[in-house]
Homo-oligomer: A and B are copies of this chain.
Amino acid sequence: MNKNDDTKARLIESAGEIFAQHGFRSATIREICRRAGTNVSSVNYHFRDKYGLYASVLESLHQSAVRKYPPDLGLKEGATAEEKLRAFIRSFLLRILDEGFPAWHGKLMALEIADPTGALDQLVQNSIRPMHEHLSGIVRTLLQKYDLLDEKNSNVSFLCAMSIVGQCLHHFTGRQIIAALCPKCFDSTDIERIADHITRFSLGGIRELGAGGLRCK
């Protein structure tokens, strides 16, 4: 690794943090370069422009994000669909709420979802769709288990997946409003409790839909 690669790596690292904090538009390359200990021109030199740096950050994210918090985090072979769902939700929350390094992986994805920059297509291709398929698979298994074959209307599993993802993202996207509404409700150690809630809430929702409205058959 020569000095060149080193500078690039440091830029990507600090850019990840800043972009995750402020979003693409509000982040400034001056702040990024200050943290990376380089000059402002280095971004244009190495990445053509600000957007090129952003794309590189997303690319690097794709390569390392799932490695740290894979969707099947900590699962044994032969886990049930319910266990898989909980693992998915928990790892999702960890990626977007964890404060440790590299905490910005999930945050960047959430920000890109909420305020797309044009890198969305790349992100969908590389990261989001695979995860979405993973979640959809779990949901379909559960729906079938609860007596609904999703074949007639594939939208049911899609809507369920959106419901699950929406619940998780809201704890990041709406974190300030949550803090304003209930200042003492959560702290950084509450990820497990939130994961529990969303898992149970979602299982109830899926069962409801699977049962076609006929509960407790």
Contact = CB atoms under 8 A, between A and B. Distances in A.
B177 A171 contact: no
A41 to B, nearest CB: 13
A201 B201 CA distance: 8
A191 interface: no
Interface residues of A, number: 54
B160 A120 contact: no
A124 B183 CA distance: 13
Interface string A186-214: 00000001100110111111111100010
Interface in A99-121: 113-116, 120-121
25 contacts: A23-B115, A113-B177, A116-B177, A132-B181, A155-B185, A158-B182, A160-B197, A160-B201, A162-B167, A162-B170, A162-B171, A163-B167, A163-B170, A165-B174, A166-B171, A173-B173, A197-B209, A200-B209, A200-B213, A201-B205, A201-B208, A203-B208, A204-B207, A204-B209, A216-B217
